[in-house]
Amino acid sequence: MKKPYPLSNLKGKVVLVVNVASNCGFTKQYATLEALYKEMKSKYPNQFEMVGFPCNQFAGQEPGEDDAIQAFCTRDKGVTFPILAKTTVNGANAEPVWEWMKAEKPGFMGLKMVKWNFEKFLIGRDGKVIERFNSRYDAPDLKPYVVKELEKKA
């Protein structure tokens, strides 16, 4: 069982939150997300964090248990950013953090649901959701938004 990750670790940081899956067409984004993570952590120490939330709600593309997911992410994909325990992002059992992010930045036409794996939310240092990106947005597309947020005066 994975130990809890206190969201208080993120206080005062710019945070990119991603719902991830191991068996998705977008799984290749792990490589570019990891590259962005390393670059931002290097250029902006203690100011940036990225957090992955595995989710099996989209075509069963994250079927493994937490230990298998962790092994896949670290060993097979070289991920060093935190990958949390498998979670629910939509529906009656959605985690409160996901309900909050979806309410802060609804999707297309105001929909308050995550549509697919690798949807992303950018949260500012003040704890407000700045942007929401659908699955097609990859790390190179996100970088200008992340840098803009990091360059703002704290």
DSSP string, 19-41: EE-TTSGGGGHHHHHHHHHHHHH
| pTM (2 d.p.) | 0.94
Domain assignment present for 45: yes
The whole-number pLDDT of residue 2 equals 55
Do residues 46 and 12 lie in contact, with contact meaning Cβ atoms separated by under 8 Å? no
Question: 44: domain range?
Answer: 18-151
pLDDT mean values, one per 10 residues, the chain (154 residues): 73 96 96 98 96 96 93 94 95 94 88 94 96 96 97 80
Whether 110 is covered by a domain: the verdict is yes
Tokens of 152: 């703002």
Confidence at residue 132, expressed as pLDDT on a 0 to 100 scale:
96
Structure confidence at residue 1 (pLDDT): 46
Q: Is residue 125 part of a domain?
A: yes
Structure tokens at 3: 């130990």
Tell me which residue of 18, 13, 12 sits closest to 97, measured CA to CA.
Answer: 18
The answer to whether residue 1 is domain-embedded is: no
CATH number of the domain that residue 129 is part of? 3.40.30.10
Q: What's the structural domain count of the chain? A: 1
Q: In this structure, which amino acid lies at residue 63?
A: P
Tell me whether residue 4 is in a domain. Answer: no
Catalytic residues: 24
Does residue 49 sit in helix, strand or coil? strand
Amino acid in the structure at residue 26 = F
Neighbours of 99 (CB within 10 A): 13
pLDDT of residue 154: 61
Q: Is residue 83 part of a domain?
A: yes
